[in-house]
Amino acid sequence: AQSVTQLDSHVSVSEGTPVLLRCNYSSSYSPSLFWYVQHPNKGLQLLLKYTSAATLVKGINGFEAEFKKSETSFHLTKPSAHMSDAAEYFCVVSGGGNKLTFGTGTQLKVEL
């Protein structure tokens, strides 16, 4: 069994400040973990993926995430938020086969 918990349903930051979107997971297998972003009226876009290689994963648009097995966490960060980062972000776990389990999403708001 596998599950993922996104700890914040909404996050609001000012432009130019750091972003932290939190995600905890559980999995019976060695998991693959993903972050996807969904802009309004757009499809889901893969930001980054962890598959048991380096624990710090760099993704697109300046995002990165760190896999911490001891904390069962995979938090998404970005040093400086941009207005274009406003979107919904999904943490996803794949623990076996091709089945993905999605978190409930975090809506990121970026203010001037």
Q: Which residues bind other proteins (CB under 8 A)?
A: 34, 36, 41-46, 49, 51, 90, 98-100, 102-105
Closest contact distance (angstroms) between CB of 58 and other proteins is 14
The residue among 95 and 103 lying less far from other proteins, judged by its C-beta, is 103
Closest contact distance (angstroms) between CB of 36 and other proteins is 8
The residue among 17 and 30 lying less far from other proteins, judged by its C-beta, is 30
Write the secondary structure of 19-77 as one string of H (helix), E (strand) and C (coil): EEECEEEEECCCCEEEEEEECCCCCEEEEEEECCCCCEEECHHHCEEEEEHHHCEEEEE
Q: Tokens for 91?
A: 């943490």
The residue among 86 and 100 lying less far from other proteins, judged by its C-beta, is 100
Burial of 7 (0-12, 13-18, 19+ CB in 10 A): middle
Closest contact distance (angstroms) between CB of 68 and other proteins is 22
